[in-house]
Structure 1
Amino acid sequence: MADSFYIPESVNELLDLLLELKKEHLYILSGGSNLLINDQKRYAHIIYMKSVDCSFENYGNGLFYIGASVRIQKVIKEVNEAGFGGFEELIGLPALFGGVVYMNAGIGGKEHPKFNISDFVLRVKVIDKSDWKIKWIDRADCDFDYRKSVFQLDGFIILGAEVQLDEQMPEISKEIIRKRQAVIKDSQEFLKGTFGSIFAESNRNVRNLVALTHKKKGGVSFGTKNTNWFLNDGNASFEDAIYLIHKCESMHKLFRQPISREVIVWE
């Protein structure tokens, strides 16, 4: 799949690598970006952000810097122990913080979101791919929208972000997490292979109709609890998943219903 797969262990190491490969086509891999990768394609260079910036800094009064490589579960634990909170319900995401910002992850649908991570972000630390320099981008310039951000246009690499959180007693945080974990277990395909939500915007009735007529393709099937999720039986391929995505999109077009992808596809 990848001719070269890199796991830089610091920002400086990442910068050196980018300067070396800047004329090459690069793919940045984080966690939590709802990614579907073409398993029939070879990629020249993939950079995994797992270890680039694992820093967590508490500046006081609810202001934190969180590195892109910190898992969201650790972020939640650290801010809760410091007596702050706000996004505990992201506890179930298999995500690094950079991926959370990239996708503007949150809770709730497009029409009535409970919150998005952009509600807490003050500014984002990035590498600008136009000149390979480290910069800060203020929230107003991040073009955050429902599961969208300027970072999806591939002009920047997220290194971390500053967030501002409200005070919250640890007991309240624990109760929010407990309730969210119960919801996840009840409403999601718990511990089954999936890349997360497929569509940021779609019609549930149309999705359900497609699921009735095309319940499974190869190793991919629609979720039984939520047809906005696909399940992998262990033998799924990219072609299986993209086939069902295209079926949903064409059916929405037939019924003149809006649809947009949340999953990021490496064609």
Structure 2
Amino acid sequence: MQILENEPMSKHTSFKVGGPARFFVKAESLADLKEAFAFARDKRLPRFILGNGTNLLVSDSGFEGVVIALAGEFSDIAEQGVGLFKVGAATPLGRFARVALKQGYAGIHKLAGIPGTLGGAIYMNAGAYGQEIGTRCTQVVTLGADGNTHEYSNEDCAFGYRRSVFQKACAAHSADDAQAEIILSATFQLESGSLACESQEQTVARLEAELAECMAKRKASQPLNMPNAGSTFKRLECGSSEMPQQVAPGYYIEQAGLKGYRIGGAEVSMLHANFIVNAGGATAKDILDLSDYVKAKVAEKFGVHLQREIVLLGEM
């Protein structure tokens, strides 16, 4: 098990900001992970499980705790039957989606452009272009602070729009929190994407074309060339009484005239209003202050209350 002290979290987040983690641990096996839990407990420090850091804003003052990053055996993909896959939590979601696609399985192939890990995708119930990871998930296995593994059925996971039961179970926890859990793996039952009278080669080609279309849309509509953490705010379950239902947050932000608005080095993207980007030299405070400003202006103008999708870590 590798342990680093005062590791800059700016190296591990897509925003490229964030102060140091008191300890940064890379766990490549279940034994490592149990040792990391014990290490945090002995130090009496809170712990946080890190995926790819693509939906995370870490405080400029850092995190006075133990950040645990999974690797090694937690990156395995095992096919256990026809369309049945067991996938480690550290596996890049895009890698799993492409492995399944290459075998002609549909249902998650449009998620290949999401830059997070499988564990992070389960945690947030990641989705894009009409697909959500929780729809195809049949089981999630976690490790509890007690050293025992726990199994969750799809129903147990309580998947909803950008939410799951794991947002409580697997958040940053105090060292002695007996309820803390870590996602280890998830199992998926996928179905063939083949149409009638279509060969597997034709199915794969069609699914690849669908993915390519999604990737082209992502590239054209999102500021992928600038540090960001994806959508800043969750889609609204309903709009205001004067506005259409199920309107994306970017609509309100743009109508409020906030595209291009800056605080320090943080900017509301000119390409997609629901993205805050690090336009150069941004701090976590810049990004947080800008997101708070956007929330306040949208509420003032439309009576709509935006909710952040980005996870905050450390004292803000």
TM-score, normalised to structure 1, is 0.90
Match of 2:267 in 1: 221
| Aligned partners of 1:32 and 1:100 also within 8 Å | no
Match of 2:307 in 1: 260
TM-fit CA distance, 1:251: 2.5
Match of 2:7 in 1: none
Match of 2:142 in 1: 126
| Structure 1: 4+ residue segments shifted above 4 A | none
- State the one-letter code of the partner of 1:28: I
TM-fit CA distance, 1:43: 2.4
Match of 2:246 in 1: none
| Aligned partners of 2:111 and 2:131 also within 8 Å | no
Match of 1:6 in 2: 25
Q: Greater shift after overlay, 85-94 or 235-244?
A: 85-94
Rg larger for = 2
TM-fit CA distance, 1:181: 1.4
Structure 2 residue 278 is the aligned partner of structure 1 residue 232: yes
Which of 191, 197, 201 aligns to 1:166? It is: 191
Give the Cα separation in 2 of the matches to 1:175 and 1:145: 28
Structure 2 residue 62 is the aligned partner of structure 1 residue 15: no
Which of 152, 159, 163 aligns to 1:148? It is: 163
Give the Cα separation in 2 of the matches to 1:91 and 1:234: 28
TM-fit CA distance, 1:246: 0.9
Determine helix, strand or coil for the equivalent of 2:209: helix
Which of 93, 101, 105 aligns to 2:122? It is: 101
In the TM superposition, 1:171-210 aligns within 5 A as 171-202=205-236, 203-210=249-256
Match of 1:111 in 2: none
Match of 1:28 in 2: 49
**Change in CA separation of 1:227 and 1:91 when aligned onto 2, cut-off 3 Å:** same
In the TM superposition, 1:44-59 aligns within 5 A as 44-51=65-72, 53-59=74-80
Encode CA deviations 1:49-70: one digit per residue, 9 max, x unaligned: 2445111111122111011111
TM-score, normalised to structure 2, is 0.77
**Change in CA separation of 1:88 and 1:246 when aligned onto 2, cut-off 3 Å:** same
Structure 2 residue 89 is the aligned partner of structure 1 residue 68: yes
Encode CA deviations 1:59-85: one digit per residue, 9 max, x unaligned: 122111011111122212221223312
Query: Between Structure 1 and Structure 2, how many residues are aligned?
Result: 261
**Change in CA separation of 1:42 and 1:122 when aligned onto 2, cut-off 3 Å:** closer
| Aligned partners of 1:32 and 1:94 also within 8 Å | no
Determine helix, strand or coil for the equivalent of 2:258: helix
Encode CA deviations 1:99-140: one digit per residue, 9 max, x unaligned: 1111100015xxxxx1211100001011123x2311111111
| Aligned partners of 2:79 and 2:85 also within 8 Å | yes
Q: Which runs of 5+ in 2 are unaligned?
A: 1-19, 172-179, 194-202, 237-248
Identity level (%): 26
Encode CA deviations 1:120-173: one digit per residue, 9 max, x unaligned: 0001011123x2311111111112111111111124211110011111221122
Give the Cα separation in 2 of the matches to 1:144 and 1:74: 22
| Aligned partners of 1:65 and 1:163 also within 8 Å | yes
Q: Which runs of 5+ in 1 are unaligned?
A: 109-113
Structure 2 residue 183 is the aligned partner of structure 1 residue 136: no
Determine helix, strand or coil for the equivalent of 1:178: helix
